[in-house]
Structure 1
Amino acid sequence: MNTTSRIALVTGATRGIGLETVRQLAQAGVHTLLAGRDRERAVEASLGLQSQGLPVEAIALDVTDGESIRAAVDEVQRRHGRLDILVNNAGVALDDWDSKPSEQSPETWRRTFDTNVFGVIEVTRAFLPLLRASGSGRIVNVSSVLGSIALQADPQSDYYAIKIPAYNASKSAVNAWTVQLAWELREAGIKVNAIHPGNVKTDMNPGAEMDVSDGARSSVAMALLGADGPTGTFTHLGETLPW
């Protein structure tokens, strides 16, 4: 059982922003669990970081599978006895960009919310006892500026015309969940915050301008918050975003 360094778990971490978040947390001295649906891919990614001398280990976790979530919780309990940081990074964007909001299929909505909303909620609820055991837990929900209802409704906003309805609405729901949970845990020593990583160049968004190293910075900053840090916020690189 690890009783010294902080223990973090990052979901959806076999590539992109999740993988870089694991790297940066490990570089900060945090023992970080690299979680992915495919155990082999998680092991491969973790070995790459271990070869750089970083304290990383793999764990299988499919956020849409209750049995997989429970198995991951049991594994973290057995190995470490607590969890100090949970970064809910796993997410999907399945909307058809050529279709109008009313034309997106019910299946697209269901699959998007299964991962982006219900997965976040179920994973968080399952790990909450281990986060409480930390005494100073941190929960980071990776949202998106596209989930800001204020900006989506403002004709003067740069994001007004970016209507990816299932994805956008799922991130609005993540923001709402963040506020509810932060209120519940406000006196438990656990801080809960949502972040926008930025317009980051990943497999999901190859045309973006921000490097993945910068895209992970907001998650890492909130994961490493001190005792005087905020809770119940929605930020990007320290800047408060409108709900």
Structure 2
Amino acid sequence: MKKLMFATVLPLLLSAHPATAVETPTVEIYTPGEQEAIGQIAAAYLRAHPEILIEMSEKLQHQEEQQQQKGAIEAVLANQKTLLQDPASPVVHPDGDVALVQFFDYQCIWCSRMAPVVESLVTGDAKLRVTFKEWPIFGKQWPLSTFAARTGLSVWAAKGAVGYQQYHNTLYQTGHVEGQLTREDIARAVTAAGADDAKLERVPETQLSATAELASQLGINGTPAFIVMPVNGASVANTSVMFGAVDAATLQSAITKARSTGSAQ
């Protein structure tokens, strides 16, 4: 009897795990006693084979990530005009064919670690249109995050792409993150950008609100975050959204995909 019941319940158990190719039998109505016995057998089997639970958990996590990615890409496509045509956002290589959009905070340690990777892409690919989204998510904890973001947008308005890029890179080169950033760091970065810190007119803090609202619409809840898409012909197939720090190869792969499939549109 137990062998028969086990042969019945095991396929049912494994069929709940999409990674296991088992044909699901027709579900019958069991008596309370049979249900209890089945539960005991299933529990015993899982205790003897805990790797199934791990596999199921990993599969579920992968499915959730895929769903999140799909939703994020759809949101990106719905907001691509704001992402690609916002004059208030600093842009390097505006005539590029592929857009890389980064949401970041100057005091985010992972943004700091990604800064050399992004800088390398900027200097190495003249056709990569890079948009910087100043998003000081740590502003309440470390107010200089917000001040640095406002200053960055002010440098962009006063000195354009070259000045902004110098300001941006100089701040990250300090290595001062997670509350370590100082007013002196910001002033030196402004000077490096060719502007006068004492005379620079900072944009109002409300100018950062649009970026926060955009991040919310895209389902982005932390920094760094990256979007890669063709400037023209963006679709689900050639658009990538990356939450958190990634390696250079991953970014380059997304750029290559956007460029090869985008050019075919």
TM above 0.5: no
More strand by share: 1
More helix by share: 2
Whose Rg is larger?
A: 2
TM-score normalised according to structure 1 size: 0.29
TM-score normalised according to structure 2 size: 0.27
